[in-house]
Structure 1
Amino acid sequence: MSAAARFDRGHTDDLMSFLAGTAAERLEKAGFRQVAETDAWDGTSGGKYVLRGGAIVAWYVPEGAAAHTPFRVVGAHTDSPNLRVKPRPDTGAHGWRQIAVEIYGGPLMNSWLDRDLGLAGRLSLRDGTTRLVDVDRPLLRVPQLAIHMDRNVSADGLKLDKQRHLQPVWGLGDTVRDGDLIAFLEDEAGLARGEVTGWDLMTHSVEPPAYLGRDRELVAGPRMDNLLSVHAGTAALAAVATSGGELPYLPVLAAFDHEETGSQSDTGADGPLLGSVLERSVFARGGTYEERARAFAGTVCLSSDTGHAVHPNYAERHDPTHHPRVNGGPILKVNVNNRYATDGSGRAVFAAACEKAGVPFQTFVSNNSMPCGTTIGPITAARHGISTVDIGVAILSMHSARELCGAEDPHLLANALGSFLQP
């Protein structure tokens, strides 16, 4: 990347506001334009993106790019574990008005207790359109049982029943009235009563991201898994697209939904979205199936997702020779059983990008006695036949309502991704 395109602490400042923003808005400011999947696509140069539900795929076509030009893809996911509103949300008991929620993904459930929560998501309207809504103020709370009524909790540990113990309160009243929550959200969104016929709504912590520590070396905030990677990928793609340099590859950002629940949806990495967009880009530039095959054969994807920094209180849970540290640079994730997609050649690609960007990197391998998580990496490699490398940023408190990373790592990741997209 050019010196002007490099990122510093200002990138981390921007991440803290991005946690409540969208990638599409940032790309629009960089000159990208949205294209509809139902329209015919042309082969013109420039930045374009597709939105489908909670997923976005954006790509940049340099002037005169051949149809067989390979892609460089940064893959990530937009979803995070949380509490999501059920189809019949209005409930309550004993004078409390509550909202019925379902557990999405694998959250650290105790982290959602006694925390001020807002509500955000997508409202589907009677006319077939959608409207985003974001109540970013204290609206809900899941109250924990007082220790006086559970004297053994400190010795035995907190045990939560997902159905009974995680329904948040949001008011008082002896009568449950169906439609109260949706009517409230219609008012918040400036809609008439009865316009909303469907919804996809989730809770979130309303406490803003913040620098933490004596020297402000850390950042605490929500949804770092995995908006940190989405933000870094967005910033890197926008910088490369506006740098004016030569591009031997077509840079791509693919941020999928539903990674936390297995990626099997039309907006997940196990769906056809990425392959469809890349193929249509080839064909829109006059390419044949042969040129599509050539482009895919030369394509490399960096699957960027947060990973585990060594925990000072639980170091024995980590591999004894692999202790990634915060602010030590991005991590390369390796698992020989293909829970991560990285192999030796992929490591070389990532190492070259980091070296060019002047960014240090670390390696993460799970303790042999601990089961290893997975990412969109193996799915992307298997579904599209694309060489894929798993990387990310090392954090603590993964899947908590509020996670913790180093203040330097976000811009180090973005620099590495920018170097990968523009080798």
Structure 2
Amino acid sequence: MTESDFNQQLLNFLNKSPSPFHAVSSMLEAFQQAGYQRLNERDAWDLKQGQSYVVTRNGSSIVAFTLPVDPVATGFRMLGAHTDSPCLKVKTNPDLNDQGYLRLGVETYGGVLLSTWFDRDLSVAGRVAYRSTEGSVKQTLINFDRAIGSIPNLAIHLNREVNKGVAINAQTDLPVLLMHQSAEESVCFDQLLMEQLNTQGVQDAEQILEHECFLYDTQSAALTGFRQEFIASARLDNLLSCYIGMQTMLNTEQKVPALLVCNDHEEVGSMSASGAQGPFLQSVLKRIARTEERYQQMLAASMMISCDNAHGIHPNYAKYHDNNHAPLLNQGPVIKLNANQRYATNSETSAWFRLLCQKADVPVQSFIMRSDLACGSTIGPITASELGVRTLDVGVPQFAMHSIREMAGARDAFYLQSALRSFLLQEKLES
């Protein structure tokens, strides 16, 4: 696959994935089309050497793996990412009727850069649980797939000091303006969900029981920059890594077992049944190993590369970076390090990755947060502590992390995939 084809498919994936549920649905479809057999956690697993498998949990987390040989002797080459992104989530009872308008109450999901959500053309996507005409509970994905709301800014004439900085109140300033509503009308969000289900061909929905719906920007992902050297999109953190991991798995002929895990809920701490701090990955690995002894042997021979975007040095705000660890866009993937274990990288795993990049002819950079600023984290340290597996944190450098629209280099995703392909082809990982 050429870099151009790789990036075009990336843009398509981003546009098709307005929520973690949609991202996992797209990934599941791609793996199944490539011949991966879908597993159900409720069933007994009869795994066979030479086969590839995929399993999901909660519809928002996914594990895909290949078994060309017995994994106990060689261990797994594991890749990790997360499916969720900071955003605004529609409340369960969101209806706000005043001044002749219907607005939606929302809550913030993760560390949202709130100012970027104003004056955007917004839509809604997620998962809906409904009572069917047969009286059972069913679930389906929903996506309005068009601009249905916005959060208009207050005019500068009414707040002359706004450009000096203004606090945003998540309760009162963020409700989404949805529609004009006369005094005789009583439209509610559940009604709109029901209408959308009918539009999508769901005919057996009798009552909306619950929903997990998220706002998203309808502007499509795009190549930008004078020479189209950048990618601009919502949810680059961290669907970019999910896509890179998926393409690496699908386009590498592994001689040793390989695995990709993409967890939900990283942006809110990973503490859930489908998050990295939950038992999903461990459960899959133990079922593959079959016994505790084989499981421990397998992990000792394995390595995990956690992929999550890194902070590229912003030319307008260079003072927020350590100049010796300030990644540039389009200059290759970034090794992420932190003395306090906010990243799981150590000298062994970092050295391994540098060697892999040399073999793949891929430039590599490093990132360490300024010593006087707090550092974020990833699923890397959580996975390392839960499994006891050697782990490395890497990522593609980007700007505007947690904005409604982020920016990355158009070459870096392809660079990282090349390095990860080299990793999956390693038959031995010796200390």
Alignment TM class, shorter chain as reference: over 0.9
Measured after TM superposition, the shift of residue 7 of structure 1 is 5.0
The Cα shift of 1:128 comes to 3.4
Match of 2:371 in 1: 368
Alpha carbons 1:270, 1:383 under 8 Å: kept: yes
Whether 2:29 is the aligned partner of 1:29: answer no
Q: Distance in 2 between matches of 1:315 and 1:176?
A: 51
CA contact (8 A) 2:330 2:412 kept: yes
> What is the SS of the residue equivalent to 1:296?
helix
Identity %: 38
Please state whether the residue corresponding to 2:324 is helix, strand or coil: coil
Deviations 1:178-225 (A, max 9, x none): 433332333333334524322111011110011111111111111000
Q: Is the 8 A contact 2:335 2:367 kept in 1?
A: yes
Q: CA RMSD in A?
A: 1.5
Contact 1:97 1:176 in 2 (8 A): no
The answer on whether the counterparts of 2:71 and 2:298 sit within 8 Å (CA) in structure 1 is no
**Helix, strand or coil at the partner of 1:100:** strand
Q: Which residue of 2 aligns with 1:412?
A: 415
Q: Tell me the residue number matched to 2:251.
A: 239
2:309 aligned to 300, 306, 310, which one? 306
Determine the structure 2 residue equivalent to 1:160: 168
Confirm or deny that 1:271 pairs with 2:256.
Answer: no
Following the alignment from structure 1 to structure 2, what is the Cα–Cα distance between the partners of residues 41 and 158?
55
Unaligned runs of 5+ in 2: 17-25, 427-431
Give, in whole Å, the separation in 1 of the partners of 2:173 and 2:199.
Answer: 28
- 1:29-178 to 2 correspondence within 5 Å? 29-44=33-48, 45-53=50-58, 54-62=60-68, 64-65=69-70, 67-126=72-131, 127-154=136-163, 156-173=164-181, 174=183, 175-178=185-188
Q: Which residue of 2 aligns with 1:198?
A: 210
Match of 1:318 among 304, 321, 330: 321
More off after superposition, 53-62 vs 171-180 = 171-180
Partner in structure 2 of residue 345 of structure 1: 348
In structure 1, stretches of 5+ residues that fail to align are: 1-5
1:330 aligns to 2:339 (yes or no): no
In the alignment, the residues of structure 1 paired with residue 31 and residue 325 of structure 2 have an alpha-carbon distance, to the nearest angstrom, of: 36
Q: Which amino acid aligns with 1:364?
A: F
Q: 1:151 to 1:176 in 2, by over 3 A?
A: farther
Amino acid aligned to 1:59: F
Higher relative contact order, chain-length normalized (CA < 8 Å, sep 6+): 1
- Going from structure 1 to structure 2, the CA distance change for 1:209 and 1:292 (only over 3 Å counts) comes to same
- Residue 208 of structure 1: aligned partner: 220
- Paired amino acid for 1:418: R
Q: What is the alpha-carbon distance in structure 2 between the residues aligned to residue 265 and residue 130 of structure 1?
A: 20
Structure 1 stretches of at least 4 aligned residues deviating more than 6 Å after TM superposition: none
Q: TM-score, normalised by structure 2?
A: 0.91
User: SS where residue 264 of structure 1 aligns?
Assistant: coil
**Length, aligned pairs only:** 407
Residue 12 of structure 1 deviates from its aligned partner by 1.2
Task: Answer yes or no: is 1:20 the counterpart of 2:9.
Answer: no
1:113-161 CA-partner distances (Å, limit 9, x unpaired): 000011111112333332111122111101110111111111x213211
**What corresponds to 1:3 in structure 2?**
none
* Paired residue type of 1:19: L
- Tell me the amino acid that sits aligned with residue 267 of structure 1: S
Asked if the contact 2:15/2:221 (under 8 Å) is kept, the reply is no
- State which drifts further: 22-31 or 316-325: 22-31
Task: Return the alpha-carbon distance in structure 2 between the equivalents of residues 372 and 70 of structure 1.
Answer: 31
Whole-angstrom CA distance in 2 between matches of 1:308 and 1:7: 26
Equivalent residues of 2:71, 2:257 under 8 A apart: no
Matched, 1:400 2:403: yes
The answer for the alignment partner of 1:387 in structure 2 is 390
Indicate the larger mover: 79-88 or 130-139. 130-139
Q: Shift in Å at residue 422 of structure 1?
A: 1.5
Tell me if structure 2 keeps the 8 A contact 1:68–1:291. Answer: no
Residue 230 of structure 1 is matched in structure 2 by 242
**Contact kept? 1:123, 1:131, Cα under 8 Å:** yes
1:296-339 deviation per Cα after TM superposition (whole angstroms, max 9, x unaligned)? 11111001001100000110100021120000000000001101
Q: Deviations over 1:66-98 (max 9, x none)?
A: 544411110000000001111112222111111
Determine if the alignment matches structure 1 residue 258 to structure 2 residue 265.
yes
Q: Distance in 2 between matches of 1:218 and 1:17?
A: 16
The 8 Å contact of residues 121 and 148 in structure 2, kept in 1 or not, is answered as yes
Distance 1:372 1:362, change over 3 A: same
Give, as a single letter, the amino acid of the residue that structure 2 aligns with 1:48. Y
Separation in structure 2 between the aligned mates of residue 326 and residue 168 of structure 1, nearest angstrom = 34
User: Per the alignment, in what secondary structure is the counterpart of residue 137 of structure 1?
Assistant: coil
- Which residue number in structure 2 is paired with residue 11 of structure 1? 6
Partners of 1:396 and 1:39 in 2: CA distance: 43
Aligned residue identity for 2:139: T
| Structure 2 CA distance for aligned equivalents of residues 66 and 387 of structure 1 | 16
